[in-house]
Chain A
């Protein structure tokens, strides 16, 4: 077994220090070391977006990022996203718009949607949403209601 690397990073707003194998992915660390299972494995190759997390303001496929590279960074998972005002709006919008079926892609969609809203704000129109979730595959919904949900959540409620 390879020696482990100790890393410290901010996870959903809390400082964490964990020891990880140097070849471990961020996805595996989140799920297996820390126990946050909202981030999903669906391809392991950066092709489906189910494992999307936000790292220092960028949305990334956590399956493609070494856990060791989280050292010193700030990582937000779906569990952290739903603790924010935008995340709550997104969750409610996904529920109300019917954007969830089997739900397996949903956490990745939620994180990517949070990233899109944070980056583009109210200027986020349907076409920009579609482009913005191009890297997130969904097999159930046909995307229509996911776009509806993100569009609704992008507009802050009065």
Chain B
């Protein structure tokens, strides 16, 4: 390779002249584990970041959607003529005006625009594009719809009964989806049990409440290519799905994601508003922007999956778990989105959080005329963990074993392969349990608070513990669970990292930049991350399953290592040193032994570029995790790594009002390795408070298919004065496959909170509550039903 001397092609840039080669020594430094500020934070804190709501394209129209006024009805007639006549209206469309639309979503069971039948109050039946949102809203009121009511189904158990009207043709029993799983021999497990308990747990509707409401802008170019400005968490999957729904070539769809105002799983599926905006853009040949109001966001966005879960558990006198049998009923709502598939995760917790030799699991998701559920941070694991960890406490008590000891006796160890086929290569579970217990003084408090049962006093303290298992190295549910990276370094040693992985506020952009800096020895401000344009970035399966740091991180490291190899080979030639003795530090080629700076990286890159064999440093890498697809029985090592966490919660229960105050949360997380301490703390603190809302305050009230509280006034998010004290510990198990040893953490912190709170309320009052949320009213009723306010409840409390 002929490499030209630098002087022949250009002079040294001024900023390099300040640090001439050879003039200093650069110590080895690492960004791993440091508190690294998010790259996007300065603009966000200054109000400069342009979210989709802040974007306006020239010539843009504004869209609104007309939704059904009936929960279940035939549409007899739609008359849009008055709406079309309103000045400022450019298009009014119904299903009849759309030449091609195909069913969308996980179940492919509904059209973007419904034609002859509506099955929920969320059903889209017409849409308007107009000069302003106000005109579009006025036009909606001019659309006349004549309905013929059909009998509604609001209860999944009723809907599943023989003879119930069918909501979708061909869906016998209104069954949208079922899951069955088993390992071991249930009968044998039961025969070996000294204690068997059975309870039914009820998990409620909650919703994501992203601060940025849903929105989209659709625009066609003159040649028919579609550009979609979208908040999706899965841009590459969406290209495919939009192509199917709209009947257009996926190659002609470009998805650009402006900064996203919160995701939490809400943007994992395709929802009708996006195809509708596209239909309107096509009809008007203008860019069309469609943004929800907050009321719409509450009333028509997907929810967390509500679950009724019946759990039977058994154990031997020595504290060994013998079996678990689970039957769950999921209200699927009118259509099938990701909520129906949450059993995929629930069964992992049932089968593999603790060692359970015999296990059986059945779920049915049943169509009703209620709202439908999507994916939501934790993906069923909050629901499953609530039941399992409530039972772990109950079994321990029935056996007379300390709840901590009982858990440790059944906890997984590294190397375990579970009945479901999950292989725990790194596993800090027991360390998590012991760490939170010791930091919270759990055992002493648990004994002392329990000793207060039945004693006078309005305010009762309690502690509860719960643990969780979640995928921490992706989840192989699509044909590929991979992520691609393109990396280029310019003549000034500035690195551009093009990654398929989206940033939704969680900090992936920053952690990926950090990992690249670590390989290439460049400062953080020498890295730009491009992560939001499907025409530029390589494929990624999407932001879900706590996978981005692990999968996109490994992909970025792979691309950076290839770049480093090229650089080091060139550096060896230019400097005359063996590549093995060289290193890259702070943008300089240095001698690894003493850090003596030899030449700026930028200078080396230019000499490579402006040489006889002109060459740029550009690399690509596609990382596919070494995980397995599960078989038809849901067995297989679905993730490349698994994350663990334990949390202890201390509550104060006001027995006169039912108010539960979350005083303190101790968390210990097996995260493999901390990459960005600031970022990971933020993920955990935010997850804890989201879990707190699920446990204590949030409930989407659904009555007769209608959302009764579509406003922050009536849907209570946790506010700053209510947050608990938090004590967070990290268990660094250095996963062998993880990027620099790290595992995923995004969902973990929210998962245990409701379960640990249930156990803490029991420890405080002797009353176990099986139904969320623990609002004052629900807690007050439960306390009074069991007489815990007045009478002595010392004893079993059952």
Question: Which chain B residues lie closer than 8 Å to A138 at the CB level?
Answer: 211, 720
Q: Is B213 a contact partner of A47 (Cβ separation < 8 A)?
A: no
Q: Is B45 a contact partner of A142 (Cβ separation < 8 A)?
A: no
The B179-212 residues at the A interface (CB cut-off 8 A) are 208-212
B185 to chain A, nearest CB (A): 44
Q: Is A78 a contact partner of B686 (Cβ separation < 8 A)?
A: no
Q: Is A43 an interface residue (CB 8 A)?
A: yes
The A139-158 residues at the B interface (CB cut-off 8 A) are 139-147
Residue of B45, B208, B506 ringed by the most chain A CB atoms within 10 A: B45
The A92-107 residues at the B interface (CB cut-off 8 A) are 94-107
Question: Which chain A residues lie closer than 8 Å to B263 at the CB level?
Answer: 102
A12 to chain B, nearest CB (A): 11
Q: Is A101 a contact partner of B686 (Cβ separation < 8 A)?
A: yes
Q: Is A105 a contact partner of B211 (Cβ separation < 8 A)?
A: yes
The B223-268 residues at the A interface (CB cut-off 8 A) are 259-264
Q: Is A145 a contact partner of B261 (Cβ separation < 8 A)?
A: no
Question: Which chain A residues lie closer than 8 Å to B100 at the CB level?
Answer: none
Q: Is A7 an interface residue (CB 8 A)?
A: no
Q: Is A145 a contact partner of B682 (Cβ separation < 8 A)?
A: yes
| Interface-located stretch among B33-41, B144-152, B279-287, B478-486 | B33-41
Q: Whose C-beta in chain A lies nearest to the C-beta of B687?
A: A142
Q: Given A139-B209, A139-B264, A145-B681, A103 and B45 touching (CB < 8 A)?
A: yes
Q: Given A79-B47, A139-B690, A146 and B53 touching (CB < 8 A)?
A: no
Q: Is B67 an interface residue (CB 8 A)?
A: no
B31 to chain A, nearest CB (A): 15
The B478-522 residues at the A interface (CB cut-off 8 A) are 504-507
Q: Is A59 an interface residue (CB 8 A)?
A: no
Question: Which chain B residues lie closer than 8 Å to A42 at the CB level?
Answer: 211-213, 261, 294
The answer for the CA separation of A128 and B224 in the assembled complex, in Å, is: 56
Q: Is B35 a contact partner of A103 (Cβ separation < 8 A)?
A: no
Question: Which chain B residues lie closer than 8 Å to A78 at the CB level?
Answer: 46-47
The answer for the CA separation of A42 and B296 in the assembled complex, in Å, is: 12
Contact with A140, one of B48, B505, B713, B726 (Cβ below 8 angstroms): B505
The answer for the CA separation of A41 and B294 in the assembled complex, in Å, is: 9
Residue of A37, A139, A145 ringed by the most chain B CB atoms within 10 A: A139
Contact string against B for A residues 10-42, beta-carbon threshold 8 Å, 1 for contact and 0 otherwise = 000000000000000000000100001111111
Question: Which chain B residues lie closer than 8 Å to A77 at the CB level?
Answer: 47
Contact string against A for B residues 583-621, beta-carbon threshold 8 Å, 1 for contact and 0 otherwise = 000000000000000000000000000000000000000
The A69-113 residues at the B interface (CB cut-off 8 A) are 77-79, 82, 90-91, 94-107, 110
Contact with B37, one of A31, A38, A98, A103 (Cβ below 8 angstroms): A98
Question: Which chain A residues lie closer than 8 Å to B8 at the CB level?
Answer: none
Chain A contact surface mostly: loop
The answer for the CA separation of A146 and B723 in the assembled complex, in Å, is: 12
The answer for the CA separation of A66 and B46 in the assembled complex, in Å, is: 24
Q: Is B261 a contact partner of A103 (Cβ separation < 8 A)?
A: yes
The answer for the CA separation of A96 and B448 in the assembled complex, in Å, is: 41
Q: Whose C-beta in chain A lies nearest to the C-beta of B88?
A: A1
Range of interface residues on A (Cβ < 8 Å): 35 or more
Q: Whose C-beta in chain B lies nearest to the C-beta of A147?
A: B720
A47 to chain B, nearest CB (A): 4
Question: Which chain B residues lie closer than 8 Å to A102 at the CB level?
Answer: 210-212, 259-263, 504-505
Q: Is B46 a contact partner of A47 (Cβ separation < 8 A)?
A: no
Q: Is A125 an interface residue (CB 8 A)?
A: no
Question: Which chain A residues lie closer than 8 Å to B713 at the CB level?
Answer: 45, 47
Q: Is B261 a contact partner of A104 (Cβ separation < 8 A)?
A: yes
Q: Given A50-B211, A96-B37, A133 and B720 touching (CB < 8 A)?
A: yes
Q: Whose C-beta in chain B lies nearest to the C-beta of A83?
A: B46
B267 to chain A, nearest CB (A): 12
Q: Is A47 a contact partner of B682 (Cβ separation < 8 A)?
A: no
Question: Which chain A residues lie closer than 8 Å to B49 at the CB level?
Answer: 103
Question: Which chain A residues lie closer than 8 Å to B687 at the CB level?
Answer: 142
Contact string against A for B residues 652-691, beta-carbon threshold 8 Å, 1 for contact and 0 otherwise = 0000000000000000000000000011011001111110
A85 to chain B, nearest CB (A): 15
Residue of B211, B264, B679 ringed by the most chain A CB atoms within 10 A: B211
Q: Whose C-beta in chain B lies nearest to the C-beta of A137?
A: B717
B552 to chain A, nearest CB (A): 17
The answer for the CA separation of A137 and B212 in the assembled complex, in Å, is: 12
Question: Which chain B residues lie closer than 8 Å to A95 at the CB level?
Answer: 37-38, 41-42, 45
Q: Is A142 a contact partner of B689 (Cβ separation < 8 A)?
A: yes
The answer for the CA separation of A131 and B681 in the assembled complex, in Å, is: 22
Contact string against A for B residues 717-744, beta-carbon threshold 8 Å, 1 for contact and 0 otherwise = 1011101001000000000000000000
Q: Whose C-beta in chain B lies nearest to the C-beta of A110?
A: B45
Q: Given A43-B711, A110-B45, A137-B712, A104 and B211 touching (CB < 8 A)?
A: yes
Q: Is A101 a contact partner of B264 (Cβ separation < 8 A)?
A: no
Q: Is B723 a contact partner of A104 (Cβ separation < 8 A)?
A: no
The B20-63 residues at the A interface (CB cut-off 8 A) are 35, 37-38, 40-51, 53-54
Contact string against B for A residues 115-145, beta-carbon threshold 8 Å, 1 for contact and 0 otherwise = 0000000000001011101111111111111
A59 to chain B, nearest CB (A): 15
Q: Whose C-beta in chain B lies nearest to the C-beta of A44?
A: B294
Question: Which chain A residues lie closer than 8 Å to B261 at the CB level?
Answer: 40, 42, 102-104
| 25 sample A-B contacts, Cβ–Cβ < 8 Å, listed by A number | A38-B46, A40-B51, A41-B213, A42-B212, A43-B294, A45-B294, A45-B712, A98-B35, A101-B505, A103-B44, A103-B45, A103-B49, A103-B259, A104-B262, A110-B45, A131-B721, A133-B720, A135-B719, A137-B717, A137-B719, A141-B682, A143-B719, A143-B723, A144-B723, A145-B685
Interface of B toward A, CB cutoff 8 Å: 35, 37-38, 40-51, 53-54, 208-213, 259-264, 293-294, 504-507, 678-679, 681-682, 685-690, 711-713, 717, 719-721, 723, 726
Closest 5 CB pairs of A and B: A38-B47, A102-B505, A103-B44, A104-B261, A142-B689
